[in-house]
Amino acid sequence: SPHSTKRKGGDDGGGDDDDNGGNGNGIPTVDNAKNPLCKPWYAIRDAIMGDIYHGRCGDPARAAIRLAFHDAVDPNEVLRPDNNGLQNIVSLLQPLPAQFNVSAGDVLHLAGVLGVLACPGGPAVTTYIGRPAPKNIAPDGLLPNPNSAVKVLTDRFADMGFSIRELMALIGAHSTGKQRFVDAALAGSSFDSTVDIWDVRFYSETQNSTAAPGTFRLNSDVNFSHNATTQKDYNRFVGNQDNWAREYANAHEKMSLLGLDQSTLTDCSEILPQSIDLKDLSTSSSGKQPTDPVIDPVKLEAAIQKYRSIWL
């Protein structure tokens, strides 16, 4: 049946009944494309969300989120493998620019945005296309070191244009992250106890006096949670999923635009699937929400089956 394709670009998706495509799964279809320039991107979306992520918050999705950050730190290394555990996602994404005749930078940044959305709770980040091909290959970029002092890290992000508040929102991406190289003996351990969910549990567990069983905490994240210069902004997100979803989405959008002239790009947020809202998935059906709601695995899987159906 005919329907509206209206969506709220750049918000958290919100869990409303804005189903975009009209088929009830919250996934907009190319038949309802609004901007002709965005049409090719529906198939690229499906190649990433389907063939690479299989609709889920797995290792390729989390690696792509980190890759988008990596690119912001060193944009000359677009889709070039390096030693930071990103080789696998790079090789999965590598064929797409030639296959669809689009730029590697656009593919990489779409993969990052879709990585966030593959993780239940992840907000829709306003998505741009039209990046030029990278001009040259730079020497290996240095990602921030988790053992650097807070001031070193906040200065580094300030140089990139990020406030401490934005940095505190961005590091929440570790909510779905794992480490492999910081402590090789504990390779594969996650930064919080709910690695497959984009939730604020990362913020509370990182701040607690002891680590949650089986998790690994980066010194930088623990320091941010206590340091006098960062704690106030860090605390904005403890137990506050809505604040975090909104501020993360804005900071990630900014990250995806670093070094680019926004007026040369096209907003193709219309291709994004609806965000999966964690509010509907809690085990506590009534009353006041606990700080970190416990997600019901049955409801979670049902939501994935419904809202990521075509990619599973």
Q: Which of 40, 50, 144, 239 binds ligand HEM (CB under 6 A)?
A: 144
Chain centroid to Cα 51, Å, comes to 18
Task: In whole angstroms, give the CA distance from residue 110 to residue 47.
Answer: 11
- The residue count for binding ligand HEM (CB under 6 A) is 21
CA distances from residue 62 to 59, 173, 287, 301 in whole angstroms, order as listed: 5, 9, 33, 19
- Residue among 35 and 231 whose Cβ is closer to ligand HEM: 231
Question: Quick one: which segment of 165-173, 262-270, 277-285, 303-311 binds ligand HEM (CB under 6 A)?
Answer: 165-173
164 binds ligand HEM (CB under 6 A): no
As to burial, measured by CB atoms within 10 angstroms (0-12 exposed, 13-18 middle, 19+ buried), residue 160 is middle
- Residue among 94 and 282 whose Cβ is closer to ligand HEM: 94
131 binds ligand HEM (CB under 6 A): no
173 binds ligand HEM (CB under 6 A): yes
146 binds ligand HEM (CB under 6 A): yes
Task: In whole angstroms, give the CA distance from residue 294 to residue 289.
Answer: 9
Q: Which of 171, 197, 268, 295 binds ligand HEM (CB under 6 A)?
A: 171
Residue recorded with tokens 């494309």: 33
The set of residues, in sequence order, having a beta carbon less than 8 Å from that of 122 and lying 6+ positions away, is 57, 115, 116, 176, 198, 245, 275, 276
| Angular region, 224: left φ>0, alpha ψ -120 to 50, beta rest | alpha
CB of 111 to ligand HEM, least distance (A): 12
153 binds ligand HEM (CB under 6 A): yes
What residues from 225 to 284 belong to the interface with ligand HEM (CB under 6 A)?
none
111 binds ligand HEM (CB under 6 A): no
- Residue among 40 and 146 whose Cβ is closer to ligand HEM: 146
CA-based nearest residue to 110, from 240, 264, 269: 269
CA-based nearest residue to 281, from 171, 169, 196, 172: 196
What residues from 61 to 80 belong to the interface with ligand HEM (CB under 6 A)?
62-63, 65-66, 69
Task: In whole angstroms, give the CA distance from residue 246 to residue 232.
Answer: 17
CB of 174 to ligand HEM, least distance (A): 6
300 binds ligand HEM (CB under 6 A): no
- Residue among 27 and 79 whose Cβ is closer to ligand HEM: 79
**Binding footprint of ligand HEM on the chain (CB under 6 A):** 62-63, 65-66, 69, 85, 144, 146, 153, 170-171, 173-174, 177-182, 218, 220
